[in-house]
Amino acid sequence: MPGAVFLEGESINLRTVEEEDLETLRDIVNQRDVRRFIGHREPLNLEDEQDWFENYEGLVLTVCVDGEVVGNIALREKEPNVGEFGIMLDTEHHGNGYGTEAVELVIEHAFKQLNHHRVMARVVDTNEKSSRVWEKLGFTLEGAMREHVYMDGEFRDMKIYGLLREE
């Protein structure tokens, strides 16, 4: 059973991450089309996931659909009043709007409750699905770190998206 509901949406709920969620999250992070875009090159086991669970600093919530954990969303404070997003969803649940809804819920929380002035996300330039989410939500493409990540045998650019509270 996923943790307590923290933010409630129309088709998803964002819940606290509980220890019993770690096996599911481990399985999701090891999916090829998930891990390649979040920078994991080696497999993660349950001990790795447990270590992440115990040491993560920032807001992290499971994304749940009908009580089932389908991913997670994180917002880490990079600098005072600046949060950086991270999100991963089980590939079986891509294309349903769950990521967009999760980000919308956390944006509101970041600006209204955490007093962030700016939120941002980094996206590998070949991750068009993720880029569309940020653009749809009003994020501005602020630039790119050229050849910043090695993926699929080549160096790729990392795009930087940002959103200010007043936007």
Give domain limits for the chain.
5-119
Q: What does the alpha-carbon distance between residue 92 and residue 119 come to, in Å, rounded to a whole number?
A: 27
Q: What does the alpha-carbon distance between residue 131 and residue 61 come to, in Å, rounded to a whole number?
A: 21
Beta strands in the chain, from DSSP E residues, in sequence order: 5-8, 13-16, 59-65, 68-79, 82-89, 118-124, 140-151, 154-164
Q: For residue 132, which amino acid is it?
A: R
Angle between helices 46-55 and 22-29 (to 10 degrees): 110
Which pLDDT belongs to residue 40?
67
pLDDT single digits (tens) 101-142: 999 999 999 999 999 999 999 999 999 999 999 999 999 999
Of 3.40.470.10, 3.20.20.20, 3.10.110.10, 3.40.630.30, the CATH number of 5-119 is 3.40.630.30
Which pLDDT belongs to residue 1?
59
Low-confidence ranges of the chain (pLDDT < 50): none
Strand 68-79: give its sheet, edge to edge: 5-8, 13-16, 59-65, 68-79, 82-89, 118-124, 154-164, 140-151
Q: Are 83 and 39 in contact (CB under 8 A)?
A: no
Which pLDDT belongs to residue 61?
96
Q: Are 42 and 24 in contact (CB under 8 A)?
A: no
Q: What average pLDDT does the chain have?
A: 92
Which pLDDT belongs to residue 160?
97
What is the pTM assigned to this prediction? Answer: 0.91
> Residue 82 — φ and ψ, nearest 5°?
-130, 120
